[in-house]
């Protein structure tokens, strides 16, 4: 709960808007989502004073502390073309005060100490989105950061309350105006039926919590898209994002949230809600760390640090993720921010602005120029609608070894390992570093004659509605069947009801089967999408596909995880 010391709150009641995107999913890329747009931009800082925030304390009772009611807004200078969609940004946990080179975690700052304003670290993103017709609000949360470990959910609920407070106030600014410098400038210009939330680190968990809080209140604001930037996820089974588009960016060299917890939001939500109208997606950025997406957290600022060596690899020994290694893959801070700018902008401009950046989200197009030359991998899980996907085999149950999700038969020949396993290294798990808990198919082979095959029941054999055959896959790095540093390759085969056969080699369409780079601290399996266009299957009848087959014919040996086999757009 937030108690304000100045002005009251007005709540806008409404229904969430669910975007219908079918007509926009093409293979052509119209423009660069990270490019500066046509609008001149005005930046304003606003300060509504101070309040208090409270929540359940670790060990019982209530923990209450002070919180600043402060933020910034980037918006088109000329608001006559509004109302404009809203993107609200929430930073994560970082030191709050400094004195010289010393840093502190307290709020408010003691006399002689200077606040560290983390919310200003995303100005590069806010400026570009605003230039393309968005009102971008970045919220300060230093008061929460100072005591969040004392709350039972590490401050996720309190961050949600703070975001909701700011939404309430912006509803007020949109209807009757506000104090200086807001004044009457934003009256009628703010579209609170079309809101996106993006949170970094613990702010990512905060925006997920706010989406669910808003839903529990009857959707007073139309939160239509939620994005986690290297987010935490301390309660993955209790906190999910269903009913709305969700995306996350995973930095491969994250030294703070090194277990890439943001992927759990994607995985938990995939099949949780029947009829879920929201896509789920992730962007894996190779060579990126946790902090450099925020300019305030980036050296040489006071409190800035390379989290990879500050927390994860203190001897800077990893051959891939340690900076300045000849064999390394690390991005500079500017290169890293370029990836965030491009992909976060694409996400919101697609789901809020209905601009055609679908192929960037799926990974079907190359990274846009604004993303630079970074290596990017994607995963995409479409909304639950028959026009969007036909899930052939989820691989989420041991029964899926012999019966697929549609009820057709499944099996293999020649595989040395064929099992459903739980991700991770726990007893009975899949046996490699994979920070997840989902069930998936585990396949290994020592012969190019090995195959997986599954039959599609008659009622589902017309797949001509779809554009793509998709599944997620990852290469197991701690098995000698996958030589170090070498990618794997397979063939995906379609057989129609007349016995016609067409085969596509996956490496011709996707680099997903890469060998995870780095040493023991960096290597991890991330399940990215492997998407093969159906136009690759000439000579078969797409209205009568009887069998999908995976031929392990491109390498003499290998070991892969596979999940989410489907036809989709």
pLDDT for 326 equals: 78
Domain boundary among 332, 351, 381: 381
Residue 317 and residue 371 in one domain: yes
Each of the 569 residues of the chain gets a pLDDT tens digit; together they read 444 332 222 222 222 333 334 444 444 456 899 999 999 999 999 999 999 999 999 999 999 999 999 999 999 999 999 999 999 999 999 999 999 999 999 999 999 999 999 999 999 999 999 999 999 999 999 999 999 999 999 999 999 999 999 999 999 999 999 999 999 999 999 999 999 999 999 999 999 999 999 999 999 999 999 999 999 999 876 778 999 999 999 999 999 999 999 999 999 999 999 999 999 999 999 999 999 999 999 999 999 999 999 999 999 999 999 998 877 899 999 999 999 999 999 999 999 999 999 999 999 999 999 999 999 999 999 999 999 999 999 999 999 999 999 999 999 999 999 999 988 766 667 888 787 778 999 999 999 999 999 999 999 999 999 999 999 999 999 999 999 999 999 999 999 999 999 999 999 999 999 999 999 999 999 999 999 999 999 999 999 999 999 999 999 999 999 999 999 99
The tokens describing 204, both together, are 């990512």
Residue 97 and residue 142 in one domain: yes
pLDDT for 445 equals: 99
pLDDT for 8 equals: 26
pLDDT for 29 equals: 55
Total domain count, the chain: 2
Residue 397 and residue 343 in one domain: no
CA distance 72 to 482: 50
Residue 211 and residue 341 in one domain: yes
Domain boundary among 363, 381, 399: 381
Residue 317 and residue 346 in one domain: yes
Closest by alpha carbon to 204, among 118, 92, 115?
Answer: 92
What is the C-alpha radius of gyration for the chain, rounded to an integer number of angstroms? 24
**Three-state secondary structure call for residue 271:** coil
Residue 366 and residue 397 in one domain: no
Domain boundary among 381, 408, 428: 381
pLDDT for 9 equals: 25
Residue 62 and residue 206 in one domain: yes
- Quick one: CA dihedral 344, 349, 354, 358, positive or negative? negative
The tokens describing 218, both together, are 């009857």
Cβ atoms of 458 and 406 closer than 8 Å:
no
Distant-in-sequence, close-in-space partners of 180: CB < 8 Å, separation ≥ 6: none
Residue 342 and residue 438 in one domain: no
What is the CATH classification number for the domain harbouring 28?
Answer: 3.40.50.1820
Residue 368 and residue 421 in one domain: no
What is the CATH classification number for the domain harbouring 431?
Answer: 2.60.120.260
What residue numbers bound the domain in which 242 lies? 2-381
Residue 362 and residue 222 in one domain: yes
Cis peptide before 98 (omega within 30 of 0): no
pLDDT for 424 equals: 74
Residue 293 and residue 434 in one domain: no
């Amino acid at each position: 709960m937030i108690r304000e010391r100045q002005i009251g709150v007005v709540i806008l009641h409404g229904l969430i808007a669910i975007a219908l995107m079918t007509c926009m999913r093409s293979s052509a890329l119209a423009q660069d989502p990270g490019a500066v747009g046509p609008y001149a931009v005005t930046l304003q800082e606003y300060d509504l004073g101070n309040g208090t925030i409270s929540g359940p304390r670790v060990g019982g009772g209530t923990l209450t502390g002070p919180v600043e009611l402060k933020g910034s807004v980037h918006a088109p200078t000329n608001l006559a073309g509004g109302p404009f969609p809203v993107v609200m940004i929430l930073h994560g946990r970082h030191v709050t005060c400094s004195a010289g080179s010393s840093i502190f975690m307290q709020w408010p700052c003691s006399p002689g100490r200077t606040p560290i304003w983390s919310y200003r670290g995303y100005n590069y993103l806010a400026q570009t989105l605003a230039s393309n017709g968005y009102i971008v609000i970045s919220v300060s949360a230093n008061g929460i950061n100072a005591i969040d470990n004392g709350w039972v959910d590490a401050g996720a609920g309190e961050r949600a309350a703070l975001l909701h407070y700011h939404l309430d106030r912006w509803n007020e600014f949109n209807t009757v105006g506000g104090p200086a410098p807001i004044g009457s400038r934003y009256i009628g210009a703010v579209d609170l039926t079309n809101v996106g939330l993006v949170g970094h680190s613990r702010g990512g968990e905060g925006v997920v919590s706010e989406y669910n809080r808003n839903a529990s209140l009857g959707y007073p604001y139309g939160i239509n898209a939620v994005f986690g930037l290297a987010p935490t996820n301390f309660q993955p089974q209790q906190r999910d994002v269903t009913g709305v588009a969700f995306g996350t960016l995973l930095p491969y060299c994250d030294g703070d949230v090194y277990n890439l917890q943001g992927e759990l939001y994607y995985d938990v939500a995939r099949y949780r809600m029947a009829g879920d109208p929201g896509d789920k997606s992730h962007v894996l950025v190779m060579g990126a760390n946790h902090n450099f997406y925020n300019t305030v957290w980036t050296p040489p600022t006071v409190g800035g640090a390379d989290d990879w060596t500050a927390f994860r690899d203190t001897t800077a020994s990893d051959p891939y993720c340690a900076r300045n290694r000849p064999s390394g893959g690390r991005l500079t801070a500017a290169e890293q921010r370029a990836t965030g700018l491009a992909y976060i902008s694409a996400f919101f401009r697609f789901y809020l602005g209905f601009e055609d950046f679908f192929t960037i989200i799926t990974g079907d197009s190359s990274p846009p120029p604004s993303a630079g030359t970074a290596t990017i991998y994607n995963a995409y899980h479409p909304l639950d609608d028959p026009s969007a996907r036909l899930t052939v085999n989820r691989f989420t149950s041991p029964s899926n070894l012999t019966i697929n999700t549609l009820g057709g038969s499944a099996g293999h020949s020649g595989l040395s390992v064929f099992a459903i396993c739980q991700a991770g290294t726990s007893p009975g798990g899949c046996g490699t570093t994979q920070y997840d808990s989902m069930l998936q198919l585990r396949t290994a082979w020592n012969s190019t004659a090995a195959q997986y095959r599954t039959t599609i029941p008659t009622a589902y054999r017309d797949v001509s509605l779809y554009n793509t055959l998709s599944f997620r896959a990852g290469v197991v790095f701690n098995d000698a069947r996958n030589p170090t540093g070498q990618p794997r390759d397979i063939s995906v085969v379609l057989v129609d009801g007349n016995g016609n056969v067409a085969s596509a080699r996956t490496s011709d369409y996707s680099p997903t089967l890469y060998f995870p780079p780095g040493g023991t601290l960096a290597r991890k399996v991330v399940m990215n999408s492997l998407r093969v266009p159906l136009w690759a299957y000439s000579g078969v009848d797409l209205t009568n596909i009887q069998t999908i087959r995976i031929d392990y014919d491109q390498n003499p040996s290998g070991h892969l995880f596979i999940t989410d086999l489907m036809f989709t757009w």
